[in-house]
Amino acid sequence: MQIAHLKSMWPEGLSDPSGRRQAKPRTRGLTMVIDKGLGLHAFDDLLSSSGEYIDIVKLGFGTSPLYPLPIIRDKIKLALKHGIKIMPGGTLLEAAVRLDLVPGFFNQVASLGFTSIEVSDGTINLSRARRSELIKDARSLGLSVSTEYGKKLFGSRIDVEDFASTAEQDWACGAELVTVEARESGKGVGLFDERGECRDEDLSHILSVVPNLDRILWEAPLKDQQVALIKALGADVHLGNIPAQDVITLESMRRGLRSDTFELQQAPYLEYMI
């Protein structure tokens, strides 16, 4: 038996008992992975084993200029080969704004072959006009844009009305997704409290006010956060800042292949009588 044929030997439907997961390119249930410094071989291994379940890779924070150029170019090529969008972290653009180096940032992003950027103000303050300008400039270069809402400071919360207004304006400027900030720790920022638990009242308020929830991506690096959002919003919720080692685990939860979300399975329930 050849290894290439092993996957097809599983009974039909067992790989996705939910019966709902889209094949790539997906529009529902996007998974964004944060790469905090994987070597090229590890990155290749990640995409070889999990690339089917990854839609976006973000090279975290401001790490992109720290890679040797051949390695970052190879990472970008591998991502594109697997149908994955790839972008530098929003902190890098924030640094470019602060240092007045935005044209150089865009030139290098285009030269290297990145497909996307993230526009954020988690550390700096951006005026509405400047935020809109950055989104439009990126779109004019053929880049897709994700924006991010929220501050990285521990204890920061979501102003729901401001979030709704910001998201509407970002979409009007050409952003594809608006991301809810949670940092890579998932604790004490945005939707999550200092223990990393979901603020259910805040989530309910967001769901009642913010339109186009299918264009919101929720940073949720911790397993219990992913479970909570899947149960609240369904398996097709967009989730980000997923650690590389957790991609297949998350996909199993989306499909009802882990006990936490077993109820997502669509197969008829059978009782066996002895």
Q: 10 Å Cβ neighbour count for 225?
A: 22
- Dist. CA 272–CA 274, nearest whole Å: 7
CATH 3.20.20.70 fits 26-264, yes or no: yes
Return the pLDDT at 5.
54
- Residue 212: the pLDDT is 87
The domain ranges of the chain are 26-264
pLDDT for position 9: 83
- Which runs of E-coded beta strand occur in 74-188? 85-88, 116-119, 144-149, 177-180
Q: What are the structure tokens assigned to 162, written together? A: 């401001």
pTM: 0.92
Q: Give the distance from CA 204 to its chain's centroid.
A: 21
Q: How many residues does the chain have?
A: 274
pLDDT digit string (tens) for 113-135? 999 999 999 999 999 999 999 99
With CA atoms as reference, report the closest residue to 242 among 263, 261, 226. 226
Burial of 216 (0-12, 13-18, 19+ CB in 10 A): buried
Ordered per-residue pLDDT tens for the chain, 274 residues: 344 555 568 887 899 999 999 999 999 999 999 999 999 999 999 999 999 999 999 999 999 999 999 999 999 999 999 999 999 999 999 999 999 999 999 999 999 999 999 999 999 999 999 999 999 999 999 999 999 999 989 989 999 999 999 999 999 999 999 999 998 898 999 999 999 999 999 999 999 998 889 999 999 999 999 999 999 999 999 999 999 999 999 999 999 999 999 999 985 544 433 3
Q: What percent of the chain lies above the pLDDT cut of 70?
A: 94
Average pLDDT, the chain: 93
What confidence score (pLDDT) does residue 144 get? 98
Name which of 91, 34, 55 is nearest 254 in CA terms: 55
Q: Residues 6 or more apart from 252 whose CB is under 8 A from it?
A: 258
Residue 11: other Cβ atoms inside 10 A:
6
Q: For position 203, what pLDDT does the model report?
A: 94
Helix, strand, or coil here: 126? coil
Hey, which residues does 240 pair with through a beta bridge?
A: 219
